[in-house]
């Protein structure tokens, strides 16, 4: 799996952990991601960070305090950072070209928000022909008026796992 695989970490940025409206299970997510990233690096697997650049008034606007990738999982030299402006990590970003130039055929996907960028990127990766593993305990979102975050994430794991991705818990993901 290692040589043709990349770990894709989507939108785990400081602004997602705001005190007023933090992402669900934020501390657990960061801990899980730290472990995945460490195992990926140890296995020689490319770690790709996707960083959302929101509108100028957004808490994820480029250059604002919320925009940087969270320091608990900060990129290292050799990691790839992809900037995006839409929910799809492939749309207008050069991600596909970067993967294809490195002969990456499999993606392990984790990050924020389950129903937006994680969902859209997972479906797009599948449609481009990549093998996709969604780490079901390494993606999350925010509570919504219509549904709690935990239910949103569980629902999207079930839907994506029924067609677009293999579901695995973080402890089951091997980068060997």
Comparing CA positions, the residue from 3, 6, 32, 2 lying closest to residue 153 is 32
Other beta carbons less than 10 A from residue 65's beta carbon: 10
Query: In angstroms, rounded to a whole number, what is the distance separating the alpha carbons of residues 167 and 173?
Result: 10
Order the strands of the 5-10 sheet from edge to edge: 80-84, 46-52, 5-10, 106-112, 131-140, 166-168
| Residue 91 falls in the annotated catalytic set | no
**Which residues are bridge partners to 8 per DSSP?**
48, 109
Q: Exactly one of 47, 69, 99, 117 is catalytic; which is it? A: 117
DSSP at 79: -
Please list the active-site residues: 117
């Amino acid at each position: 799996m290692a040589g043709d695989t990349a770990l894709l970490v989507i939108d785990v940025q400081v602004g997602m952990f705001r005190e007023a409206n933090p992402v669900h299970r934020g501390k657990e997510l960061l801990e899980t991601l730290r472990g995945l990233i460490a195992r990926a690096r140890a296995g020689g697997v490319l770690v790709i960070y996707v960083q959302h650049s929101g509108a100028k008034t957004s808490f994820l606007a480029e250059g604002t305090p919320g925009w940087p990738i969270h320091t608990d999982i900060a990129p290292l030299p050799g990691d790839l950072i992809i900037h995006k402006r839409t929910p799809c990590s492939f749309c207008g970003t050069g991600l596909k070209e970067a993967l294809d130039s490195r002969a990456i055929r499999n993606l392990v996907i984790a990050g924020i928000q389950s129903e937006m960028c994680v969902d859209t990127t997972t479906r797009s990766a599948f449609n481009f022909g990549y093998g996709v593993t969604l780490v079901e305990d390494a993606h999350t979102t925010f509570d919504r008026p219509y549904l709690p975050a935990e239910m949103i994430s569980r629902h999207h794991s079930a839907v994506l796992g029924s067609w677009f991705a293999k579901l695995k818990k973080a402890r089951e993901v091997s980068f060997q």
